[in-house]
Amino acid sequence: MIEVKELQKSFGKLEVLKKVTFTVDPGETVAVIGPSGSGKSTMLRSLVHLEEVNGGSIIIQGQALVDNGSYAGHAQIKGITSKMGMVFQHFNLFPHLTVRGNLELAPRTLKRESSSEITARSKDLLSKVGLADKADVYPSMLSGGQKQRVAIARALMLSPDILLFDEPTSALDPELTGEVLRVIRQLAEEKMTMIIVTHEMNFARDVADRIIFMDKGEIAESGTPEQIFGSPRLARTRSFLKL
Ligand code: ADP
Ligand code: MG
């Protein structure tokens, strides 16, 4: 589903991704953990072309977004990234649109389907995330956990094949993380292909099929939750996990 090869990215002189290589299988949930500044967000943003890398390849569903450092054309990039949804730490909802308006904006702009189909799906997805009664309110009326659930429903509106999460609960009060993690857990059970950058170690251990530990721009270690949390190979993994 996702094949990343020797991804390299620098900001000026700072090398942020150093030959990052990994794959994600269809239906797999991969959790990415690691210290702040290790390149997790940059890696995720590169996958959806919010950052351009300096070298390496990103192949999504067999199509090269970037191949050995050279990017595909505009139309192909749009085609590839349209199959991916991303959820950010700070929700990024449009404050001037209602919840329903937030969900329906992108599909209405794309005009690929009828208005009634779009309305039906936004209704379904709001029920799925437990917010059927919030369709007509504005984001400012919602708690952080509700905002993030709206952001997840919005990402699902375009029927993505892949969902990326960048610390989806890091901006939330602890009592609100559970309701967001429950929605993500349900997506994992439905075999959505996902990469989740998270500091929620219990969640990663529980829900992920595989853990990637990033440190200083590299994948230091990766494996099953049992391997990474149970018997990490590297001292720096143990130290990060405070084992
Ligand atoms: P993480 O998500 O693991 O905390 P990031 O990918 O956000 O790490 O950042 C990795 C490194 O790249 C950090 O040192 C950060 O300061 C730097 N960085 C991130 N974005 C930019 C940018 N737009 N310009 C310059 N440096 C950046
Ligand atoms: Mg980050």
Q: Which atom of ligand 1 is nearest to the CA of 42?
A: 6
- 75-132 pLDDT, tens per residue? 999 999 999 999 999 999 999 999 999 999 999 998 889 999 999 999 999 999 999 9
- Whose atoms come closest to the Cα of 16: which ligand? 1
- pTM for the full predicted model: 0.95
Q: With left for phi above 0 and alpha for psi between -120 and 50, is residue 39 left, alpha or beta?
A: left
By CB neighbour count within 10 A (0-12 exposed, 13-18 middle, 19+ buried), where does 222 fall? middle
| Ligand 1 atom 15: residue of nearest CA | 37
Nearest of 2, 6, 30, 10 to residue 19 by alpha carbon = 6
E-strand stretches of 34-79: 55-60, 63-67, 70-71
Q: What is the residue type of 228? A: I
**Interface predicted TM-score (ipTM):** 0.98
Is there an atom of ligand 1 within 6 Å of 42 CB? Answer: yes
Task: Give the distance between the most distant pair of CA atoms in the chain.
Answer: 55
What is the CA(15)–ligand 1 centre distance, in A? 10
Is there an atom of ligand 1 within 6 Å of 9 CB? Answer: no
The CATH code of the domain at 25-39+83-241 is 3.40.50.300
- 6-61 pLDDT, tens per residue? 999 999 999 999 999 999 999 999 999 999 999 999 999 999 999 999 999 999 99
Alpha carbon distance 32, 214 (integer Å): 7
What is the CA(168)–ligand 1 centre distance, in A? 17
